[in-house]
Amino acid sequence: MTKDNMTIRFTPDGFSFIELPGDASPLLDEALFHEVTPGPDFQQRLHEAVLDALPQRETPPDLTVQLVSTRVVVLPPDITDSEVAEQMFQATFTEADETEQTLLQPLDLPNGQQVNLCFAIDRSLLHFLQRNYGELRFEHHLATLLLEGARQADGNTLVVQCLDQFLEVALFRQAKLSLVNVYRSTQAANRNFYVMNTWIQEHLDQLHDSLLILGHGDAASQLHQDLRPFIKQILQQ
């Protein structure tokens, strides 16, 4: 496994890694998932599984660590101080978690907008990765939705992406990012509700505004099939 450019993606119950060629889309295809059963020693077992899957001697020089979680906020581009960003993060998520550390990810969107993603990572996982793999780039998976959404959004577009356990939603008004949400969900009915509730709450038009579903997995295809009767302009990319 001596790849030059690789992303290792962490979810609440495991991880996967995938090579990303330089000209690849920011959307990750499905990759082999290494499941780690939840439990009191989860982090220790997770670290051991990562070492088994990605030995130090085979570590690529360009390794990106991607987090998939609901604990992320989108901040204005002028919020660059880590302490201020953490305060805003804690103001959003009232349940403080002393095992977490927040990270900042500046993001330049294709539509010219700039935002900062502030997201949490388990401190022991962060220190484990830094200790074993040296220089790393940390990002939140929400960035893939925002980058691809900003590239494809036209007019008023609600862009959604289905992961195994998550639904990500971003609204672009006149091609500018206006709203972002991440939901923990595995049920098709719940995902339908979150999307349609956002559509209605934001007063989007069934005839003239559009819904863009990113990805071609089973969850994305099911969402497209379920919502097609209610929204005229619905695309799956």
The pLDDT score that the predictor gives to residue 19 is: 63
**Mean pLDDT of the chain, nearest integer:** 89
Distance of CA 165 to CAs 12, 118, 123, 148, Å?
A: 9, 20, 22, 20
Per-residue tokens: 151: 């590239």
Domains 5-144 and 153-236 share a fold: yes
98 within 8 A of 41, measured Cβ to Cβ: no
In whole angstroms, what is the distance from residue 152 CA to residue 184 CA?
25
- In the chain, domain spans: 5-144, 153-236
Q: Among 3.40.50.720, 3.60.15.10, 3.30.420.250, 3.30.70.141, what is the CATH number of 5-144?
A: 3.30.420.250
Residue 150, SS3 per DSSP: helix
Q: Tens of pLDDT along 84-112?
A: 999 999 999 877 678 899 999 999 999 99
**Domain 153-236 falls in which CATH fold?**
Nucleotidyltransferase; domain 5 (3.30.420)
Per-residue pLDDT tens digits for 147-184:
999 999 989 999 999 988 899 999 999 999 999 999 99
CA gap 150, 229 in Å, rounded: 25
Full-model pTM:
0.88
